[in-house]
A and B are shown apart, each in its own frame.
Chain A
Amino acid sequence: MAFFATLGFAVPWILLGLLVLPVLWIILRAIPPAPIRRIFPAVVLLHGLLDKSHASDRTPWWLLLLRSFAMASVIIGMAGPILNRQENVQTRGDLLILLDGSWASGRDWSQKIEQIENELKDAERASRNVAFMLLTAPSTLEFRPVNMLKGRIASLKPRAHDPDWSQATAVLQAVISKKFDTIWFSDGLAHGGQKSRFLSDLQDRGEVSVYNSQAPLFTLSGVSLLEDSFAVDVHRLSDVGQADFTLLAEGVDPAGNPEVIARLEQAFKAGKNDVRVEISLPPELRNRITRFSIEAQRYAGARFILANELRRVEAAIFAGSGDSEVTELLKSSHYAKRALGQNADILSGQMADILLANPDIILLADVVTVEAAEDVEAWVKGGGTLLRFAGPRLAGAKRDIFLRDPLMPVALRHGGRRLDGAMSWGLPKEVAPFEEDSPFAGLEIPPDLRVYAQVLAQPGPELSGKVIASLQDGTPLVTRTQLGLGQIVLVHVTANAEWSNLPLTGLFPKLLQRLASRDNLSVDIQDLAGQTWTPIKTLDGFGLLSASQSLVGVKGSVLEEGKFNAKMPPGIYQSDARVISRNLALNSDALEAMEWPGDVVLKQSSIAENDLAGFFLSLAVLAMVIDILASLSISGRLRTSAALCLAILFVHPALPVGAESNFSPEIALTQEVVLGHILSGDKAVDQIANEGLYGLSKVIGERTSVEPGQPVGIFLESDELAFFPLIYWPVSASQPLPSRQAYEKLNIYLNTGGVILFDTRDGDLAGARGQGQVNRALQKLTQSLDIPRLETVPDNHVLTRSFYLLQDFPGRYRGSQLWVQASNMQSGTSEELPFRMLNDGVTPVLIGGNDWASAWALDDAGVANYPVGRGYAGERQREMAFRFGVNLIMHVLTGNYKSDQVHVPALLERLGK
């Protein structure tokens, strides 16, 4: 009886009408059904016969019951039954519907909207005035009748930042004298106690009831770069149980289409609310990542967007003169190239050109005088890393060169030193462990690393601050100096294995990587100030990135602060050439659940009200229809066949009305050649396909002895395919995947001589292996089909000569490849057989994208429906499209006959001999 507990009526007094039902019963019982007049000459023989029983002089009880039921349904339907009727709120007065609309609100937004609609219904019934307020974007409170607000519900959207409490309080202050009740749709977070403060403000005005979000909440606080991987920190709203989640690294594929690059299934252990997910990806994939997200969590908190932070570095390498004359392994640039090559793009060219490309790092191997030194200096100041290697030339350069050189971190002593010379006392030096504050800290030093020679720095007070790696005797191995935003690094040995075996060790690439990779996620934040940042793309409350509109740039210092609001949402910001991403970076501090005080009414999300009037009234209509049939059958007026038809009509409403499935008469299909096309479900596509096949049928009928009938749309699931010599399948991205049975049917069709022409209708713009939507739809659709190995149509394929001689197969587009079954090469070479030896010569599938149907489409008068190309050339193309169609049908219908025809001249020639 739980059902009836939730049932209510809008106009209950109409139910009194149910009392009339017994009267109706009695009246109906009294009236027998009307007789039928029948002319019957042998009536004289009936004279005097008496009826055996009086059963039919009254309406049968079940018919009475049916009629009473119909009447009852009408009465109940008129009374306005409502399932899950909500109790009317007793209080009157104005109502404020308050939404957090924060970054966490997107997780159950549609549910919230439903609840709001329910509340509005209640408010409408109680004729209360209602105002909306979105805490993330508070606007002036205007209490209005509900019917003026209904349109506004759709425009309520969560934002990707925290509620703007100060603004909200100001809005509340503006209507200081007003009393109203509040229904608060909360995101379940405390927002650092501000929520409680705002709540008490509201409670001064009236009663507050709350819908509190219960859905799980995950956030991503940041991405940190590790040695050769990176880690994403995931947090959740405190919860004790274990929770699984899937972290997605999303990005773009090389064609620029979005794709999921990595999918990591992880779990929060019971009691733990933070988890660090380490991701190790090849650099190619890693560079393409544009954001991280938690699968199926559609709100801003569960997103972490990246601008280009994981991008590959760009490097340029310059070697001193003479480098090109030595063998590869002796080149000073060789090792650096190999070491950087893994995760960097190496640029080559003149220094001036390279600087325009703004590389991340420039390597100078044993270069004394830097070309275009001023430009390089400016580039370093702008954030570049200049990495210099020592060498004989550097060691031999005059000392005063370096005194004036801003591109050298330390001044060098002339000549350097040789440690393993025949005349020297010392042994090759080992490298001292890296200091904690060195950028190389933590790297392991291989035990066999030896330095045989080095250049030495001029000692000075500031030298020790510049050394980031040294030998065991304390002499510097690597020195560094900051210049502007960039850095200049000098490695005191050569970039080849001449002075040390450093380039031969595994340490070398790691050193270079550390120097080259911009530790951007932390670095960037530090130096935003002083610039104006314009948002390019901003995050909305559902975690979707979209081009920002009408947002002005923000000051770097404000951006650095990271207090996001409506004017500065999280997103991707740009200043000059630099593009950075700014994220909510919500760590566990932000995830504090709101504890609602006891005097707040916590509402449970209830089931929506359901108006049952329509249901009852249609039930009544149905009962009346059954009553008509039943009365007819009782009085003998209902013919069995008619009853059968009606029964089928009722039992089989699945037959789609209106769609062009004129398919039922199989006989008609077998009487003539009928072309079929798969109904994709997309009305426009199906119509074009039908018109196209109609046009093609017409043309074939005019030009050949084949006279096809009206083309037919095929429902894959229900229709038999065997009647169609050719099925045209316009691939549409929206087409649902056929069922397994349908695939079985298709496979049987293909294996027993059927032919399917797949048309992606996109002119193959995305390329044969492209990732276009339609292409992917095609891939998905054909995955379960037995499709043989394919090749593009070869020049000697029978399709090029089965009726017309053709070179290509244009439709509305031209030039895209047509793929057919690959020929069986074992059976003979093309020299021996000038035709293709395939199984009966017919390819089971043809795949192309020229949108043939559009080119074929003709109306009844034979006028083309859709334009092809321009002017005469276009008409020529359409003609070629028709010729392709004719060839195709000929090929399909004649099998290897047409290819055998190619033999005829040769046979005749032989006979002549």
Chain B
Amino acid sequence: MSDALTLRAQAAELADSGGDLLLEAERLSRSLIMGEHGRRKAGLGDHFWQYRPFENGVDSPRSIDHRRSAQQDQYFVRQLEWKTPQALHVWVDQSASMRFASKGNAGKNNRAAILVLAIAIAAEKAGERVGLCDSTLAPSRGRKQILQLAKQLNLQMDTDYSLTGPAEFLTSATALIASDFLSKSTDVESILSIAADRGVRGVLLQVLDPLECSFPFQGRALFQSVLGSVEHDTLQAADLKSEYLKRLADRQQRLGELADMARWDFLVDDGSFALIITLSKIYQSLSKGRTG
């Protein structure tokens, strides 16, 4: 098969999966109601703010609200509340380790992408700007932005563990970074420090496979990363269980501490809950960050 054909087939596949992701995310996002952020002053917006007397020369005659003006001998102008959209940065770890899926479960990247997209769709509907954390897709509004996002989230990288992408944030934006956070913790530190510098708050979402949380292995085994860059040979896998679980807990604690320092939130999705539950947790964290 020629390269072009392969490429095209893969592209179609990717587009398909992007579509699936989008559908799933749309379905999920319907359960979220994201309000716009009122500025408590008149401006561009949908909601009524106040009637004020018509000032000749300042207001155009077109802006006269005739229903209100008809009640008195004076012209009134109907002012709406000024609303500003916020920027939401999203990021899904695209390294190979995220592709792992144990039997009967969806891939980690899949879950992460659905959650992130759902948040992004809900935010976009609420009038916020959504984009990635790097230069490839700057925050913007519109349905087309979501489609772009879906496509971008579906890309895959050829390294086992990498968290070097998210480096560009708009000031005071909100961010959602989903990964399994199995790469070096310094990656996370650097991201968080950049974010903190810019006054960005957000959520670190750790997506794990149930297998990674339970470690149900026995007997002689050779553990490999998805691309095979890291290997571990053991004679009695069951003996490693407690040690492994302890290390996992340590890692999560460390991530939590890092997030706290940057006033971020750290959430874990290990596949044991329905997506909607994780989604509402993320939503709560993101809203809290905005109002608080």
Contacts and interface: CB of A to CB of B under 8 A. Distances in A.
Given A635-B219, A636-B217, A41 B225 contact: yes
A41 B220 contact: no
Contacts of A52: 236, 239
Contact of B247 (A37, A39, A45): A45
A684 interface: no
A869 interface: no
Contact of A37 (B224, B226, B230): B224
B219 A634 contact: yes
Given A42-B212, A51-B235, A36 B219 contact: yes
B231 interface: yes
Contacts of A637: 219
A40 B240 contact: no
Tell me the dominant secondary structure on chain A's binding face. Answer: loop
Interface string B201-212: 000000011011
B243 to A, nearest CB: 5
Interface string B79-104: 00000000000000000011010000
A53 B234 CA distance: 10
* Of A43, A51, A57, most B-chain CB atoms within 10 Å: A43
Interface string B223-247: 1111000111111110110011001
Given A44-B230, A52-B236, A636 B218 contact: yes
Interface in A16-74: 32-47, 49, 51-57
Interface in B184-223: 208-209, 211-212, 217-223
B251 A45 contact: yes
B33 interface: no
Contact of B232 (A34, A43, A55, A56): A43
A39 B236 contact: no
B178 to A, nearest CB: 15
Contact of A36 (B180, B221, B248): B221
Nearest to B245: A45
Contacts of B266: none
A582 B222 CA distance: 91
A29 to B, nearest CB: 15
Given A35-B222, A37-B224, A43 B236 contact: no
B161 interface: yes
Nearest to B236: A56
B167 interface: no
Given A42-B212, A45-B244, A36 B222 contact: yes
Contacts of B223: 38-40, 43, 46
B262 interface: no
B239 A40 contact: no
A30 to B, nearest CB: 15
B182 interface: yes
A57 B219 CA distance: 10
Given A35-B222, A38-B223, A41-B212, A46 B232 contact: yes
A44 B184 CA distance: 10
Contacts of B248: 42, 45
Nearest to A634: B219
Contact of A636 (B108, B161, B233, B237): B237
Contacts of A636: 217-221, 237
Contact of A45 (B182, B226, B233): B182
A907 B233 CA distance: 87
A49 B219 contact: no
A56 B219 contact: yes
A41 B180 contact: yes
Contacts of A46: 223, 232, 234, 240, 244, 247
A40 B212 contact: yes
Contact of B182 (A38, A41, A55, A634): A41
Contacts of B108: 41
B207 to A, nearest CB: 11
Contacts of B182: 41-42, 44-45
Contacts of B247: 45-46
A35 B182 CA distance: 25
A839 B211 CA distance: 63
Contacts of B234: 46, 49, 51
A40 B220 contact: no
Contacts of B98: 41
Contacts of A634: 219
A569 to B, nearest CB: 77
B242 to A, nearest CB: 10
A636 B221 CA distance: 9
A770 B144 CA distance: 94
B226 A41 contact: yes
A35 B223 CA distance: 10
A44 B161 contact: yes
Given A45-B247, A45-B248, A38 B221 contact: yes
Given A49-B240, A636-B218, A41 B235 contact: no
A495 to B, nearest CB: 107
A33 B219 CA distance: 9
A35 B226 contact: no
Contact of A38 (B208, B217, B243): B217
B219 to A, nearest CB: 3
Contacts of A35: 220-222, 233
Contacts of A49: 232, 234, 240, 243-244
Contact of A39 (B180, B218, B224, B235): B224
A133 to B, nearest CB: 70
Contacts of A44: 161, 182-183, 225, 230
Contacts of A43: 223-225, 230-232
Contacts of B251: 45
B219 A40 contact: no
A35 B231 CA distance: 13
A51 to B, nearest CB: 5
A33 B220 CA distance: 7
Contact of B97 (A33, A41, A53, A56): A41
A39 B212 CA distance: 11
Contacts of B183: 44
B222 A37 contact: yes
A698 B109 CA distance: 54
A46 B221 CA distance: 12
Contacts of A45: 182, 244, 247-248, 251
A44 B240 CA distance: 13
* Of B180, B223, B231, most A-chain CB atoms within 10 Å: B223
A46 B232 CA distance: 7
Contacts of A33: 219-220
A47 B230 contact: yes
B23 to A, nearest CB: 27
A471 B150 CA distance: 140
A63 B133 CA distance: 57
A36 B219 CA distance: 9
Given A41-B97, A43-B231, A55 B236 contact: yes
Contacts of A56: 219-220, 235-236
A395 to B, nearest CB: 121
A110 to B, nearest CB: 56
Nearest to A52: B239
Contacts of B235: 32, 51, 54-57
Contact of A53 (B208, B212, B226, B239): B239
Interface in A488-506: none
Contacts of B212: 40-42
Contacts of A41: 97-98, 100, 108, 160, 180, 182, 209, 212, 225-226
5 contacts: A33-B220, A39-B100, A41-B97, A51-B240, A56-B220
Question: 4 closest Cβ contacts across the A-B interface?
Answer: A636-B219, A41-B97, A636-B218, A35-B220
Interface of A: 32-47, 49, 51-57, 634-637
Given A41-B212, A44-B225, 7 more contacts: A35-B220, A36-B219, A39-B223, A43-B223, A43-B225, A43-B232, A636-B237
Interface of B: 97-98, 100, 108, 160-161, 180, 182-183, 208-209, 211-212, 217-226, 230-237, 239-240, 243-244, 247-248, 251
